[in-house]
């Protein structure tokens, strides 16, 4: 475990965003803090406006009061968001913003809007059908609207130079995270899955300049501890918009598997795509292309694009990383994931890749029965390895 003071600070921000927001406000008086929802929010525009954009995570508190506002068949993340809104746990934000994502998240943001009429909630309707000829114009229009919202919130104009700098800052931070994920896929076992989730989650919470400086320090302190071992190499797939519980990630590796890649929101899905900003290019155009291209780099079941498919991407990802098995982490009642899952299963079966579906619940999962299922997957996968001569 590559512990260091820098890693401690990143971990603290990931696990207690509220405390980080309080510190940041103290150090940046007069600047606003907004809560944003995963996955499509263009945080570069917030950075350009001098606003701290904090992805609102599942804070893993039991759903109490919020239970009254959303049906039981909404996913745990959205019910937790409703509970946060109902109990004032979003009151450290000056506004809440979301870019189109899924129906259930819309429901949660409506609850936030209804319960707190002092915190503005802005819903940016980004086009979800990305193959349409009119998609680029629609995306540009909505990105412009986000820019306008931030100008209204802060009372200052966002210049192209502000945007250009924000894009560079965010790209640099994502690039280092991507490098760590790529190194893991290539066999580097320096960071455990829990540590990598903390590194990525902290990037979704912190000022990207501060995050990057700490990340550089944490990576340097970790040194060169690449240990490749014989455990079964697995790819984690799913959890589109919040982190799997730490104990779940730990039990996966305790069962004889090593996580080599993922497509989690708190992993590759966040870090995969940089804003493709050319020297002469309008930064707003580049931010619009980022939105469209991230679905090509790593397809999302909430978007529609005829040229790409999550199942094809997943099979290719296992080939790139040498993953021997796939573990699907599906939050209970996550409709986009449920709708895609049969296709994922079919493609992996056709490619002869062992897989296991784990349905996760906000309230937790029985770890001992899960351990048995994971050990069975490990055994099954080990038996496929060629016998040693
Ligand atoms: S994508 Fe799934 S987990 Fe995320 S908010 Fe929608 S239903 Fe919930």
What was the pLDDT predicted at 226? Answer: 66
User: Can you tell me which atom of ligand 1 is nearest the CA of 108?
Assistant: 5
- pLDDT of amino acid 311: 97
Query: Is 90:119 a contact under the CB 8 Å cutoff?
Result: yes
The neighbour count for residue 366, using CB atoms within 10 Å, is 9
Q: What is the pLDDT of residue 364?
A: 87
Rg of the chain over all Cα atoms, to the nearest angstrom: 20
Phi and psi at 132, nearest 5°, equal: -70, 145
> 52-55 and 95-99: which strand pairing?
unpaired
Residue 377, CA atoms < 13 Å, CB-side half-sphere: 30
Residue 341 vs residues 152, 235, 258, 270, 274: alpha-carbon distances, Å: 41, 15, 23, 21, 27
Q: Atom 6 in ligand 1: which residue has the minimum CA distance?
A: 102
Give the ligand 1 atom nearest the CA of 335: 7
- What is the predicted pLDDT for the residue at 320? 96
pLDDT score for 374: 97
E strand map for the chain: 33-36, 52-55, 95-99, 121-124, 232-238, 257-262, 325-331, 355-360
First-to-final CA distance of the chain: 34
Q: Is 105 in the pocket of ligand 1 (CB under 6 A)?
A: yes
In the prediction, which pLDDT does 389 show?
46
> Is the beta carbon of 78 within 6 A of some atom in ligand 1?
yes
pTM listed for this prediction: 0.96
Tokens of 242: 């919040």
Query: What tens-digit pLDDT sequence spans the chain (389 residues)?
Result: 678 999 999 999 999 999 999 999 999 999 999 999 999 999 999 999 999 999 999 998 999 998 899 999 999 999 999 999 999 999 999 999 998 879 999 999 999 999 888 889 999 999 999 999 999 999 999 999 999 999 999 999 999 999 999 999 999 999 999 999 999 999 888 899 999 999 999 999 999 999 999 999 999 999 876 677 789 999 999 999 999 999 999 999 999 999 999 999 999 999 999 999 988 899 999 999 999 999 999 999 999 998 899 999 999 999 999 999 999 999 999 999 999 999 999 999 999 999 999 999 998 889 999 999 999 999 999 999 887 64
240 Cβ below 6 A of ligand 1: yes
Mutate to test the pocket of ligand 1, among 78, 79, 339 (most ligand atoms within 8 A of CB): 78
Packing angle of the helix pair 208-222, 193-203 (nearest 10 deg): 160
Give the bridge partners for 329, in sequence order: 238, 358
Give the mutation target among 73, 76, 77, 110 for probing the ligand 1 site: most ligand atoms within 8 A of CB: 77
Kindly give, in sequence order, each residue whose CB lies less than 8 Å from that of residue 208, ignoring residues fewer than 6 positions away: 43, 47, 169, 170, 172, 173
Per-residue confidence (pLDDT) for residue 388, from 0 to 100: 62
What sign results for the dihedral spanned by CA atoms 22, 27, 30, 31? negative
């Amino acid at each position: 475990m590559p512990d260091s003071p820098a890693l401690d600070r990143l971990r603290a921000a990931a696990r207690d965003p509220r405390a980080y927001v309080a510190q940041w406000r103290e150090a940046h008086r007069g600047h606003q803090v907004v809560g944003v929802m995963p996955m499509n929010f263009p945080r570069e525009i917030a950075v350009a406006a001098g606003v701290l954009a904090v992805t609102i995570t599942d804070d893993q508190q039991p759903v109490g009061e919020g239970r009254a506002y959303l049906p039981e068949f909404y996913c745990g993340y959205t019910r937790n968001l409703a509970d946060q809104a109902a109990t004032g746990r979003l009151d450290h934000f000056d506004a809440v913003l979301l870019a189109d994502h899924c129906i259930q998240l819309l429901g949660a943001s409506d609850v936030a809007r209804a319960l707190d009429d002092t915190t503005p909630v802005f819903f940016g309707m980004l086009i979800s059908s990305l193959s349409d000829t009119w998609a680029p114009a629609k995306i540009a229009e909505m990105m412009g609207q986000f820019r306008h919202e931030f100008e209204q919130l802060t009372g200052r104009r966002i210049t192209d130079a502000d945007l250009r700098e924000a894009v560079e800052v965010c790209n640099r931070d994502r690039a280092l995270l991507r490098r760590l994920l790529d190194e893991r896929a290539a066999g580097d076992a320096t960071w455990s899955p829990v540590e990598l989730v903390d590194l990525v989650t902290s990037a979704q919470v912190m000022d990207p300049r501060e995050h990057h400086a700490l990340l550089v320090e944490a990576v340097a302190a970790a040194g060169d501890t690449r240990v490749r071992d014989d455990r079964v190499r697995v790819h984690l797939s799913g959890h589109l918009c919040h982190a799997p519980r730490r104990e779940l990630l730990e039990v996966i590796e305790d069962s004889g598997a090593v996580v080599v890649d993922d497509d989690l929101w708190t992993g590759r899905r966040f870090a995969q795509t940089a804003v493709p900003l050319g020297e002469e290019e309008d930064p707003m155009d580049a931010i619009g292309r980022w939105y469209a291209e991230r679905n090509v780099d790593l397809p999302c079941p909430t978007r529609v694009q005829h040229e790409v498919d999550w199942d094809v991407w997943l099979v290719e990802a296992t080939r790139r990383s040498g993953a021997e098995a796939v573990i699907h982490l599906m939050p209970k009642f996550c409709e986009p994931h449920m709708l895609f899952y049969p296709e994922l299963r079919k493609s992996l079966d056709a490619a002869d890749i062992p897989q296991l579906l784990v349905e996760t619940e906000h309230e937790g999962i029985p770890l001992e029965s899960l351990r048995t299922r994971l050990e069975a997957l490990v055994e099954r996968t080990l038996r496929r390895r060629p016998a040693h001569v």
